[in-house]
Amino acid sequence: MDRKTRNLRPGEEKKHFDMLNFCFQPWGDEEKWRRHYEQPNFRATQNVVVVEENNEWIGGGTAWFRDAFVRNSKKTKVYAAGDGYVHPNHRGKGVYSTFMKSLNELARKRGASLGFGFISLYETPFIALPKYGFVDAFYPLTYVQILNPNKFLDFVFAQLKEVYLPQRFEKLTLKLTISFKVLKRNQEITRIFQVTKGNLCEVNNAVGNKAKTDLSIKADIGTMLKIFRLFYLKKKTLPLIALSNFACGRLRIRFSIRFVKMMLRI
């Protein structure tokens, strides 16, 4: 086995873009590429690491560098590791470890004093990050006020569309209803999704209402965000928290026999 890492070469940007979409299925469109890879002072050929094995491109990752201001306005360089991917035929063979070690070494050479690794909806193996020197970062308790629930939920639903689901959930219909208050008036937003090729695709409410709903979830915005957070972080406490909110009436769930069969893989 001849495995090596190298920087992205000039002219390979399109191949890197195609590999991201192939491995993540999908990663994103050209607009997302421009936001991530056409930033000022960013060069893909200096920041993207490619892993090759026997001259075959099998994985890679990207390092983004920033200047961060710490106490007393002192400046330090930090980096964030992201867009790590492994070709499906080579998963479970240590490719992720290979490019993470390479990214950390690149960051050290560039003078970074801190590195950040963020979990994502693509099941980034954040549990493994401590092997590469990462530790949990805890933030002070923060309160937020959602000023525009419709716009905020559009963002949340957009993240849901990037979740990949197993084949057994194909054609499942999910109905989400979220309630919230605006100027002390109760309002609701309902969105209907259908699983297509492993992804949650939003369907027109008129069309979705005609289709048989396999799973219906209704909750207030605070409860739903807590559930989304636990799901996003893959917390083992998710079933317990969901059951507690269900018992208190803050979370309402209805499901079909078809959904039960999907869960049981019948």
**Which residues partner with 254 through β-bridges?**
216
Structural tokens at position 41: 């002072």
Task: List, for residues 60-69, the tens digit of each pLDDT value.
Answer: 999 999 888 7
Domains and CATH numbers, the chain: 3-132 (3.40.630.30), 149-263 (3.30.1050.10)
For the ranges 105-109, 133-137, 179-183, 202-206, the maximum mean pLDDT occurs at 105-109
The pLDDT value recorded for residue 155 is 73
Q: Which two tokens stand for residue 210?
A: 């005609």
Q: How many Cα atoms occupy the beta-carbon half-sphere of 145 within 13 Å?
A: 4
Tokens of 47: 């920041």
Q: Cα–Cα distances in Å, from 144 out to 24, 42, 222, 224? A: 31, 32, 11, 15
Split at pLDDT 50, 70, 90, the class of 47 is very high
Which parts of the chain are beta strand (E)?
3-7, 48-53, 56-69, 75-86, 114-117, 173-182, 185-196, 199-203, 215-220, 251-255
Phi, psi for residue 199 in degrees, rounded to 5: -115, 150
Q: What pLDDT is attached to residue 232? A: 64
Q: What is the arithmetic mean of pLDDT over 46-59? A: 94
Res 149 pLDDT > 80: no
pLDDT in tens, 152-178: 777 777 777 667 788 888 999 999 898
CA distance 6 to 103: 10
What was the pLDDT predicted at 13? 92
Among 211, 191, 210, which residue's Cα sits nearest to residue 202? 191
Rounded to the nearest 5 percent, the helix, strand and coil shares of the chain are 40, 30, 30
The residue among 204 and 30 whose pLDDT is bigger is 30
Which percentage of the chain shows pLDDT scores above 90? Answer: 28
Provide φ and ψ at 187, rounded to 5°.
-135, 160
pTM of this structure: 0.54
> Confidence band (pLDDT; 50, 70, 90) for 35?
confident
